[in-house]
Structure 1
């Protein structure tokens, strides 16, 4: 029996209005209860390679009967990819200073259990009871400034290099993943997205889209709204509804 038979989803990625290359990638496997967004590190050689590797590798994971074993498998896969991206691909690129990396946010759902796994600033949101919750916490200098120096969001955004990532797959020898487990309820909706999408949209705009009945409708609203703006970065979103 499919592990997430009652979950419906829709996924889309778009280069945006400015960048020629799309370094984002996404995975939509509702029959396996697994969804992923990966955002290759902009400006670095091979960002699209890293995001595609993450999505392809997670898609090939065996579907264990046990939720906890599947979660362990996702984490092990990402740690393996971190080593591979950090060593083999950097050496093959012929430059010791090159970084081939990507953010990742993955959602695993089985029956009434869910787990969000992430590194970087791609996000996971939950829409429940007409309220929007940001489940993931950005691994970025901007968020670190807010947490450690008690800056407000506006001050942190203005700080030089604020959008630099503090964690990503392939960016450092040791990868530290963050995991949040939660109970899911009928009517819950999730949004996985890259920073290119959420940076151009307000929380109200995200909520209005996720309140629509079908994932495809929500996705269409999100991209219509985002593409009316500057859309300077690649845009990727996956909407999952119970």
Structure 2
């Protein structure tokens, strides 16, 4: 595990933004464990903040083994939490809106292998060889309209429920996580972020920030650019690089 800490550096930050009264995002940055997470809560102020916090607390507990074993443990923890959010907390919450859930995007790295796990529209990007790759695919109605009805992004965005999520932790009885495994190469950089960050930035701007030499410089650039704009949503990001 110590080798991971020597290879990978990271920086993480969250901000309420300029409009929301409370921050429902949460993040986890554990380079010594090769684990990073961003979660974006939903269901009203306290419910959303609770859901995202529970995700990072559950995943922060140490796990042992190789990458497949740790990935399996991460999946089990998220499935357990999905049941808890979907049953216990929702049923007992004395709140007019019973929804309590959160997106999640997690990155596990062990040696020269990585695994990205997600549900919802928080994203994982890879910066490699001066090119930006979006590794995750949004679990949202907007993306579904693009995929299934061949609508353009601008056409799909006009749907009144375009940004509704089709998957999230706590959103349904059966949680469907998406997982992507890949080899990591020297010079790779990763970005995990909530939609409050990427919605305010172009792909070119994201790439220019990830091209900076340190995670902290990248993070500073990303937040400066979003907070110079309207910043209508909470924003969170974790930047990881060798």
- Per-residue CA deviations over 1:193-235 (Å, capped at 9, x if unaligned) read 0000000000010000000000000000000000011100001
Structure 1 residue aligned with 2:20:
19
Structure 2: runs of 5 or more not aligned: none
- Per-residue CA deviations over 1:1-37 (Å, capped at 9, x if unaligned) read 4251210000000000000100000000000000000
How is 1:78-93 mapped onto 2 (pairs within 5 angstroms)? 78-93=78-93
- Per-residue CA deviations over 1:173-211 (Å, capped at 9, x if unaligned) read 100000000000010000000000000000010000000
TM-score (norm 2): 0.97
Structure 1 residue aligned with 2:41:
40
The offset of 1:76, in angstroms, is 0.3
Contact 2:22/2:45 (<8 A) preserved: no
Separation (CA, whole Å) in 2 of partners of 1:43 and 1:206: 29
1:67 to 2:60 alignment: no
The offset of 1:42, in angstroms, is 5.3
Separation (CA, whole Å) in 2 of partners of 1:164 and 1:91: 22
Contact 1:36/1:105 (<8 A) preserved: yes
Structure 2 residue aligned with 1:195:
195
Gap change, CA 1:13 and 1:32, over 3 Å in 2: same
How is 1:37-186 mapped onto 2 (pairs within 5 angstroms)? 37-41=38-42, 43=44, 46-62=47-63, 64-94=64-94, 98-186=98-186
Give the paired residue count.
241
Give the secondary-structure state (helix, strand or coil) at the position aligned to 1:39: strand
Give the secondary-structure state (helix, strand or coil) at the position aligned to 2:115: strand
The offset of 1:92, in angstroms, is 1.6
TM-score (norm 1): 0.97
How is 1:1-20 mapped onto 2 (pairs within 5 angstroms)? 1-5=1-5, 6-20=7-21
Contact 2:66/2:110 (<8 A) preserved: no
Contact 1:13/1:26 (<8 A) preserved: yes
Contact 2:82/2:170 (<8 A) preserved: yes
After TM superposition, which residue ranges in structure 1, 4 or more long, deviate above 3 angstroms?
42-45, 94-97
Structure 1: runs of 5 or more not aligned: none
Separation (CA, whole Å) in 1 of partners of 2:11 and 2:125: 15
- Per-residue CA deviations over 1:161-184 (Å, capped at 9, x if unaligned) read 100000000010100000000000
